[in-house]
Amino acid sequence: MTRPLVVQKFGGTSVGTVERIQEVARRVAEGAQASRLIVVVSAMSGETDRLLKLARALSPDPLPRESDVVVASGEQVTSALLSIALDARGVPAQSFLGHQICIHTDDAHTKARIRSIDSARMFAALDAGKVVVVAGFQGVDGNGNITTLGRGGSDTTAVALAAATGADACEIYTDVDGVYTTDPRIVSHAHKLERISYDEMLELASLGAKVLQIRSVEFAKRYNVRVHVRSSFNDEPGTWVVPEESNMEEVTVAGVAFDRDQSKITLTDVPDRPGLAARIFSPIAAKGIVVDMIIQNTGAAGKTDMTFTVPRVELDAALRIVRDVAREIGAGDARSEGDITKVSVVGLGMRSHAGVAAQIFETLAREGINIQMISTSEIKVSVVIDAKYTELAVRVLHDAFLGAKETNG
C-alpha cells in the first residue's frame, strides 16, 4: 500500500533561525516515517522585508521583474537549508525552486497567479524515497522569468501543490495554533476555531486576517483541499478549513478581521452625469488596482463627491490616475485623507440572522467611534474607521459577537 501523501508548509517564524530549521527538520523526519512528504518553506521571518528594502534603497520604484528575482532568493535559501538539515539527520531530501517543478504563472510580477504545475519531478523524487522540499512564494512565467505570488504566497504554493499532486492533506504550520476568532495578538482572549468554512476563511483572508493568503483559500475551495492550520511549536490540533457543513450557519459570526493597509481617496465636485463613474474607475482597474469600497454623495448644483478605498501600496498610482481623469472631466481635487482601518465581521449565519449590521453600528457608537464607510455582503459587514481606534473597535466587536466563550466546534 502506498503511504499517504502530505504537503506541509512552514512559515517565516517557523524557519526563522538555524535552531528553528533544525526543529522543523525534526518534525519533518517524524512525519516522513508515516507519509510521503512535500514540504514548502517561506523565507526566514523578516527576510522578504529586508530584501524589498534593499531594492527600494536603490530605486523608489524597483523594476517588478528584478524585484521578484531579489525576493525569491529568501525561499531559495530556506529550501536548501532545510534539505541540508534533513540530510544531516539521515533523511534523504531534495530542494526544488519554483521553476524546477514547473510552477507556471502569469507574468504579473509581484502578484502572479499560478496557472499550472507539473508534478512529475516531485513524484520521481518521492518515488526515490526523498522528502521534496519546495521554495514557496515563487514561480516562473511563460518567458522563463521568475515571478512571486504576492505577500504570504507560500500558503498558496502549498495548497496548489496539494491540489496538483492529489495530496491527502495540506498542513500549514505557523506561529499561532490555528485560525482564531480574531487576531490573537490584538485580542488575547480570542479563541481558536476547530473548523471554518472555505467561504468564511475567504472573507477573513480578503479582509485582512493574514493567517492564510486569500489565494490559497481560493485553491483549497476550488480543488476541495482540506487545510489544517496549526502551530509549528506544539502538537495541538489546529483549525480545519473545510467545505460548508450543515450546522455551520448556527453560529452567526465566525470572526472579526481588520485591514490597516487600505487608503481612502476623495474626489470632489464630480459632475453628476451618466458615465463618469466608469471614466474614473476604468483606468484604475486597467492598472490592476483593486478598488474596494465606494461612496457617492449626491451634492448640490449637479456635482457630487466620490470616496473610495484602494490598497495603500497603490495609493500614489491611483491618485495620479484620478487626478488625470479629474482634469479631463472637470472635477475638483483628488486627495487622500487620514489613516484608516477597515474592520469586518464575518459569518455564514448572517444569511439567516438579521440585525448584525445594526448591532455593529450600536457597538461602535457606544465607544464614540465614527463610521466613515460601510459595505456589506451576504456573510460580512465591513466598516471604515479612523485607524487610531483599530484595537478598540476589534475588541468591542469581538466581545459583542464572540465573547470569551467557545462558539464553534
- Rounded to a whole number of angstroms, the minimum distance from the CB of residue 238 to Mg ion is 14
Judged by CB under 6 A, does residue 336 bind ligand ADP? no
Is 168 exposed, middle or buried (CB count within 10 Å of its CB: 0-12, 13-18, 19+)? middle
From the list 79-87, 110-118, 120-128, 150-158, the region that binds ligand ASP by CB under 6 A is 150-158
- Rounded to a whole number of angstroms, the minimum distance from the CB of residue 155 to Mg ion is 6
| Residue carrying C-alpha cell 531559495 | 76
d(CA 79, CA 94): 9
Which entry of Mg ion, ligand ASP, ligand ADP, none binds 153, CB below 5 to 8 A by partner kind? ligand ASP
d(CA 105, CA 116): 7
Name the residue nearer to ligand ASP (CB basis): 216 or 390: 216
- Rounded to a whole number of angstroms, the minimum distance from the CB of residue 392 to Mg ion is 26
From the list 141-149, 181-189, 245-253, 350-358, the region that binds ligand ADP by CB under 6 A is 181-189
Buried b vs exposed e over 314-338: b needs ≥16 C-beta within 10 Å?
bbebbbebbeebbeeeebeebebee
Pick left, alpha or beta for residue 240 (phi over 0 → left; psi -120 to 50 → alpha; otherwise beta). beta
Judged by CB under 6 A, does residue 48 bind ligand ASP? yes
Judged by CB under 6 A, does residue 211 bind ligand ADP? yes
Number of C-beta neighbours around residue 134 at 10 A? 28
Put the strands of the sheet holding 36-41 in their side by side order. 93-96, 131-135, 36-41, 5-10, 169-174, 227-231, 239-242, 195-197
Name the residue nearer to ligand ADP (CB basis): 8 or 363: 8
Q: Under rule CB under 6 A, which residues in 242-271 are in contact with ligand ADP?
A: 255
- Rounded to a whole number of angstroms, the minimum distance from the CB of residue 197 to ligand ASP is 23
Which entry of Mg ion, ligand ASP, ligand ADP, none binds 200, CB below 5 to 8 A by partner kind? none
Q: Under rule CB under 6 A, which residues in 63-122 are in contact with ligand ASP?
A: 74
Judged by CB under 6 A, does residue 62 bind ligand ASP? no
Residues that bind ligand ADP (CB under 6 A): 11-14, 42, 152, 174-176, 179-180, 182-185, 209-211, 255
Residues that bind ligand ASP (CB under 6 A): 11-12, 42-43, 48, 74, 136-137, 151-155
